Structure formats: structure tokens, C-alpha cells
Amino acid sequence: MTLAFDIFTAFAVAAGALFFLAGTIGLLRFPDPLTRLHALTKVDNLGLGFIVVGLLPRADGVLGALKLVSIWLIVQLSGAIVTQLLAITVRQHGPRG
């Protein structure tokens, strides 16, 4: 059973790390601040989500698992809000502002 959990953790964490890489590549290659925001918040968030899910079997009891999930939820919430606010900034100042 532990081996199955370990394999699950390894795959999920690897997937999360790959999504972080994809997010950075998106930051690099996308042409516009508005498109880069997608790469930044959505893709990186998904990476964090995969890592959190992968580490849940190794969490410190129910409280530890709840803490991990709440970290992910807080980052998602802040990502969603900050994206909207940054988009308003881009609309006001222009993409080169």
C-alpha cells in the first residue's frame, strides 16, 4: 500500500512540476500581458494543485491535509482576483504601461 502511495505521489508531483515549467514557458512565449496572466495563474495553479494532491497521502493527519488543501484554495482565490485587477490595469495603462 505504501508503495502504491509512493508511486502516486511521485507521478502527481512530477506532473505538478511539469505544469510549473509549462507556466514559465507560457510567460516567456505569450505575446501580451493579458495572455501571460492566463499562463501565470491558471497553469501554475494547476501545478500547485497536482503537487498538493500528490502530497496528501503523506500529510500529517486530517488537519495537515486540510491545511494543504486550504493553501491551494487561497492561492486560487488570490490568483483569480489578482488576474482581474491586473487586467483592469492593462486596460487603463495599455500593455506597455
Report residue 3 as a C-alpha cell: 508503495
CA-to-CA distance for 66 and 48, rounded, in angstroms?
15
Helix axis angle for 44-55 and 61-93, nearest 10°, is 180
CB 26 within 8 A of CB 38: yes
Q: Does 31 bind another protein (CB under 8 A)?
A: no
CA-to-CA distance for 6 and 25, rounded, in angstroms?
29
Of residues 4 and 97, the one with the C-beta less far from another protein: 97
CA-to-CA distance for 75 and 71, rounded, in angstroms?
6
Min dist CB 52 to another protein, Å, is: 6
Q: Does 35 bind another protein (CB under 8 A)?
A: no
Q: Does 23 bind another protein (CB under 8 A)?
A: yes
| x/- letters, 78..97, toward another protein (CB under 8 A) | xxxxx-xxx-xxx-xx-xxx
Give the footprint of another protein on this chain (CB under 8 A): 6, 9-10, 13-14, 16-17, 20-21, 23-24, 27-28, 33, 36-37, 40-41, 44-45, 47-48, 51-52, 55, 58-60, 64, 67-68, 70-72, 74-75, 77-82, 84-86, 88-90, 92-93, 95-97
